[in-house]
Homo-oligomer: A and B are copies of this chain.
Amino acid sequence: MKDKNPKWVCDLAKFIDRPHRDVRERVRQILAKKEFQNPPRDSTAEYRDSVWKLLKIIADEGIGKIGIPEEFGGEGDKNAFLAAFETLAEGDLSVLIKFGVQIGLFGGTIQNLGTEFHHKQYLRDAMEAKLPGCFAMTEGDHGSNVAGLETTITYRKENDTFVIHTLHENAGKDYIGNAAVHAKMASVFGQLIVEGKSHGVHCILVPVRDGAGNPLKGIRIEDDGDKMGLNGVDNGRLWFDNVAVPRENLLNRFGGVNETGEYVSDIESESRRFFTMLGTLVGGRVSIGSSSLTAAKRALKIAIDHALERRQFGEEGKQEILLMDYKLHQTRLIPLLAKTFAIHFALRELSERYGKAETETEERIFERDAAALKAYATWHANKTIQTCREACGGAGYISSMGFSDLKGDIDIFTTFEGDNTVLQLLVAKESLKDFARQLKSAGPVTAAIEITMSQLKRYQLSLALLFSRGDISTMTLMDLLKMREQQVLIDTAKRIRHRIKKDGFTPTKAFNEEGPQLVVFAAAHTDMIVYGRFREALSRVNNQKVRSKLESLLELYGLSVIEENKAWFLSSGLLPVWLCNSLPAMIGEKVGKVRRDVDKLVTALNPGSLR
């Protein structure tokens, strides 16, 4: 493959693989082993077994330990670990998620919520998959609302133990990966109660199976059975009937019980403690976003390869037309390709920023970005896989083409690690809080809003002028997306304010009522972020040819966002009618440009395919 491609393609592929190209190559070498080619999966039991064995191979190669400190045999590089995870999505996605559950979630709680004792005792074994574990957070009745979990973790002073208990049938843990078959231990989230007082959600390590794999006393386990996808992962349910564990099992980095039986924590506010604790688990959200994008890249490769081979219909007496030469086919696939490039760079920047926040504000912004991009990327991946499947017609329906697994496996990415709509609401609320803070520092609320509005109005005039002269520079597009974000934010803030001040709603009710508007803002915000990150990445490209190819993709992505939101640009007066009417032609031109290199671009986007 390599020599068939011009140099710029290899350069672009390397750029796509950056940073941590070495780690990605290490993972690809593992995925290329013979054990990973068509592992047995005739039955669910067999598939689960295969997946566990493959996970062990990956762990044996040290991939699980990349993110943990060297003193525990690791490499101390959390960003490289995210790169490894993202690359694992080039293989079977059940293996990816099994790895995510064992290493990212179970190991992650020990690493992020535990202290020295837990690290010494369990970290290495967890990351080497020698101690199979599960992450028992979600309950039948509580998923998105983690603060409302009903499992109790009650401290018993008399024998210095914690007792874990499931309050009722629907408070049982559910959908827990690794729980149905393999887990020996669980990191269980529940309400910590000390001397009758609740201190909010904490996490504790609870052994769940004995050496022979039988549930321990007081523990009931059920199998969730078949799922839409990811059937190599054994999801299950767990109930605890007054199960006692030693005090040391509580992962007490942010709060615990001392030797005299008192609750102690460095963080006084229960809510701040809760969000700090959850914040340490945000790496999972980043991983889900970027691994879903890996799946989208694979789908595009299949569909574009197919469209460059298959012909159908045409002029009488001539060879039939290549699918890829149909304008309609191009407009189905190529804007998705551009968007995939855009999200790629946004997620790459995010992955590299992980764990590097130095202030609480930076940390908050990181979490907001992670929420925004997780929702954006996973929905995009699902849409892309579906469009690619349909673009391959009946052939795409046959499992061997690859879409069956991609589609079934990636489906859940939109609702696990944070339901996408809940994440969008979070993005909007955080942005509104920021906005309120800015306004407070700037003076009285209404005046500040008016100033911002008039600033925007003035700016947009000159911008529309630039755009109308045919200057669709990437800066113009950036400004348009920024202004949209700003105006929608102001509009949203005004609406919420109106609901509270004029309609007399409680904040909860006001936010519920404006839910549809909040997701409109989240979309505008994320479009802007993604476009900006792609544009920044472009400035780091030295190879002129690579840069020019990426520029076409960037422009296409920007124009597509504006086209999709044309109604907003029209009604806000930001763009005139005649200009909006010419968007399809402008997009068509960019699509045509990308079409010429589409085979090479999709190859570079899948550097693994160049091996």
Contacts and interface: CB of A to CB of B under 8 A. Distances in A.
A414 B388 CA distance: 12
Interface string A504-535: 00101000111111110000000000000000
Interface string A345-389: 000000000000000000000000000000000000010001001
Contacts of A414: 390
A584 B516 contact: yes
Given A382-B386, A390-B415, A516 B399 contact: no
A552 interface: no
A225 B390 contact: no
A315 B311 CA distance: 59
Given A508-B314, A577-B570, A394 B148 contact: no
A19 interface: no
Interface in A16-31: none
Nearest to A310: B141
A516 B327 CA distance: 7
Contact of A515 (B145, B328, B577): B328
A460 interface: no
A326 interface: yes
Contacts of A419: 390, 393
A141, A408, A415, A508: residue with the most chain B Cβ atoms closer than 10 Å: A415
Interface string A322-337: 0001111101100000
A215 to B, nearest CB: 21
Contacts of A513: 327
Interface in A530-588: 566-567, 570-571, 573, 577, 580-581, 584, 588
A462 interface: no
A420 interface: yes
Interface string A118-139: 0000000000000000000010
A167 interface: no
Nearest to A583: B567
A394 B412 contact: yes
Interface string A77-105: 00000000000000000000000000000
Q: How many copies does the complex hold?
A: 2
Contacts of A145: 312-313, 320
Nearest to A519: B328
Contacts of A148: 312-313, 320
Nearest to A425: B328
B328 A144 contact: no
Nearest to A508: B315
A398 interface: yes
A175 interface: yes
A577 B138 CA distance: 45
Nearest to A414: B390
A248 interface: no
Nearest to A565: B567
A397 interface: yes
Contacts of A399: 225-228
B512 A321 contact: yes
Where chain A touches its partner, the secondary structure class is: helix
Contacts of A508: 314-315
A404 B588 contact: no
Contacts of A577: 570-571, 573
Contact of A398 (B224, B329, B332, B389): B224
Given A327-B512, A328-B515, A411-B407, A143 B394 contact: yes
A318 B310 CA distance: 60
Contacts of A514: 327
A421 interface: yes
A159 interface: no
A571 B571 contact: no
Contacts of A332: 421
A42 interface: yes
Given A228-B408, A516-B328, A567-B566, A143 B580 contact: no
A416 interface: yes
A595 interface: no
A400 interface: yes
B397 A227 contact: yes
Interface string A222-237: 0011111100000100
A56 interface: no
A43 interface: yes
A394 B138 contact: yes
A321 B513 CA distance: 13
The 9 closest A-B pairs by CB, nearest first: A328-B515, A566-B567, A567-B567, A226-B399, A228-B404, A175-B394, A570-B570, A327-B515, A571-B577
Given A148-B312, A227-B399, A390-B415, 8 more contacts: A143-B393, A226-B398, A327-B515, A327-B516, A328-B518, A389-B411, A570-B570, A570-B577
27 contacts: A141-B311, A144-B313, A145-B312, A148-B320, A225-B398, A226-B400, A227-B404, A228-B404, A228-B407, A235-B398, A314-B508, A315-B508, A327-B512, A327-B513, A328-B512, A328-B518, A331-B515, A382-B386, A390-B415, A394-B412, A394-B415, A397-B411, A397-B412, A397-B415, A404-B408, A516-B584, A571-B581
